[in-house]
Amino acid sequence: MLSSYLAHLAVERGLSANTLASYRRDLRRYVEHLEARGLATLADVAEGDVVAFLAALREGDDHHPALVASSAARAVSAVRGLHRFALREGVSGHDPAHDVHPPRQMRRLPKAISVADVERLLAACGPEDSPLALRNRALLEVLYGTGARISEAVGLAVDDVSRDPGHDPGQDSEQDPGEDQVRLRGKGGRMRIVPLGRYARRALDAYLVRARPSIAAHGRGTPALFLNARGGRLTRQGAWEVLQAAAERAGLSGVSPHMLRHSFATHLLDGGADVRVVQELLGHASVTTTQVYTLVTVDRLREVYAAAHPRALN
């Protein structure tokens, strides 16, 4: 039954190899748990047996360490799916896992860096006259200025950047961004249009005019916006290394591409942006995903209130 369910997940659900490996490991442990309780088939399993397995996951034993809530939740999800499949296939006449819910996970608040730290990071891209430094600055400005995921940024093509018809990319204008925008391809192939702010636009102008042509000359021609030193498309790993090098020069630790995305959202909300607007800019399918950022800004409000209000002290 287990092999049939895993084949169903692979063929009909299209789960990745890594996810399948995790499910296989979790379900084999579940089968061992059932065998130890003298249960030979899924039809013999009761709800208490599933609950006992969840408890065993959280407590651990001589052969298995205790699992954190997220790992235990994954294992319980695999077990629930197995029993649903067994019921649907007629192997079992009931679903003992239906009312057994995964353990609640602590909500992790996204980490963001301050505006001042962002400015230090962007200023640490290297010599201004270096083509790669101009590329690096443009990349980081786009990541922070649009809230793009790193995969979305490196997946950009030159044609994904739309410019204001009245703007001359050869001029370092102080005018408003106008119709400058970038087209991002998010999860599930969802497309979204995000405005391109003045700083990101100027950094892209400098890169496209003064750097990209010379970098592209080393390659075979590609529509990719961000290129590596050999003229090919910049990879996720290459973009990560660009960020890490800039962070090291700026004296910042623990900075990741996703942290820039978090900072984009947090700074927008701190500035008064509506959560629904931030949802659209981030490309979240549900506003519930975006609302976690409001918890960060509430904490910030508390800090400001505690520091500034004369009656805030306990």
Q: Say if residues 225 and 234 touch (Cβ distance below 8 Å).
A: no
User: Considering 258, 276, 302, 305, which one is annotated as catalytic?
Assistant: 258
3-state DSSP call for residue 182? strand
Higher pLDDT, 61 or 148: 148
Active site residue 293: yes
Q: In total, how many domains does the chain have?
A: 2
Local confidence band at 20 (pLDDT 50, 70, 90 cut-offs):
confident
Model pLDDT, residue 231 = 95
- Which residue has 């370092």 as its token pair? 172
From the candidates 187, 190, 230, 302, give the one annotated as an active-site residue: 187
Specify the 3-state DSSP secondary structure of 227.
Answer: strand
User: Which of 229-233, 242-246, 272-276, 295-299 shows the lowest mean pLDDT across its residues?
Assistant: 295-299
Please tell me whether residues 127 and 184 are part of one structural domain.
yes
Which residue intervals of the chain are DSSP H helices?
Answer: 2-11, 17-36, 47-59, 69-88, 115-122, 131-146, 150-154, 198-210, 212-216, 236-250, 257-270, 275-282, 287-290, 292-308
Q: What interhelical angle do 17-36 and 69-88 show, nearest 10?
A: 80
Task: For residue range 150-195, list pLDDT tens digits in order.
Answer: 999 999 999 999 876 555 555 544 445 457 899 998 877 788 899 9
Is residue 56 located within the same domain as residue 127? no
Task: Check if the beta carbon of residue 156 is closer than 8 Å to that of residue 224.
Answer: yes
pLDDT of residue 177: 47
Asked which of 254, 276, 298 is the last residue of a domain, the reply is 254
What is the structure's pLDDT at 17?
84
Please give the average per-residue pLDDT across 25-30, as a whole number: 91
In a domain, 33, yes or no: yes
pLDDT score of 106 more than 60: no
Q: What is the mean pLDDT of residues 13-31?
A: 87
Q: What is the CATH number of the domain that holds 51?
A: 1.10.150.130
Same domain, residue pair 140 and 242 = yes
pTM above 0.85, yes or no: no
* Residues 61, 137 within the same domain: no
Contacts of 274 (CB under 8 A, 6+ apart): none
Residue predicted with more confidence, 156 or 68? 156
Query: For 184, phi and psi rounded to 5 degrees?
Result: -110, 140
User: How far, rounded to the nearest angstrom, does the alpha carbon of residue 293 sit from its chain's CA centroid?
Assistant: 14
Residue 122 and residue 247 share a domain: yes
Whether residue 293 lies inside any domain: the answer is no
Report the C-alpha dihedral over residues 260, 181, 267, 271, rounded to 10 degrees.
180
Same domain, 33 and 139: no
Mean pLDDT to the nearest integer, 233-260: 93
What's the confidence (pLDDT) of residue 303?
A: 67
- SS3 category, 248: helix
Evaluate if residue 149 carries a pLDDT over 80.
yes
Does any domain span residue 226?
A: yes
15 found inside a domain: yes
Indicate which residue of 29, 33, 261, 267 is catalytic.
Answer: 261
Q: What is the dihedral of CA 54, 59, 61, 63, to 10 degrees?
A: 70
Q: Same domain for 193 and 148? A: yes
Catalytic residue flag (residue 192): no
Q: Known catalytic residue: 187?
A: yes
Domain-embedded: residue 311: no
Q: How many residues does the chain have?
A: 314
Question: Does 30 map to a domain?
Answer: yes
- Mean residue pLDDT of the chain comes to 85
Q: Which domain holds residue 199?
A: 115-254
Is residue 111 part of the annotated active site? The answer reads: no
| Residue 275 located in a structural domain | no
Q: Which amino acid does the sequence have at 18?
A: N
Among candidate residues 33, 74, 80, 149, the one labeled active-site is 149
Domain stop point among 254, 279, 297: 254
Is the C-alpha dihedral spanning 284, 287, 289, 292 positive or negative? positive
Q: In the structure, what pLDDT confidence band is assigned to residue 300 with cuts at 50, 70 and 90? A: low
Of the residues 254, 271, 301, the one at which a domain ends: 254
pLDDT over threshold 80, residue 120: yes
Q: How far, in Å, CA of 161 to CA of 42, rounded?
A: 55
Task: Tell me whether residue 120 is in a domain.
Answer: yes
pLDDT at residue 143 tops 90: yes
- Cα angle for residues 105, 109, 113 (degrees, 5° grid): 155
At 184 the three-state DSSP class reads strand
Q: Enumerate the H helices of 60-197 as residue ranges.
A: 69-88, 115-122, 131-146, 150-154
Are the CB atoms for 101 and 248 separated by under 8 Å?
A: no
Note whether 58 and 144 are same-domain residues: no
Residues 71 and 194 reside in one and the same domain: no
* Residue 142, domain CATH: 1.10.443.10
Question: Do 131 and 43 have their domain in common?
Answer: no
Q: Is residue 301 scored above 50 in pLDDT?
A: yes
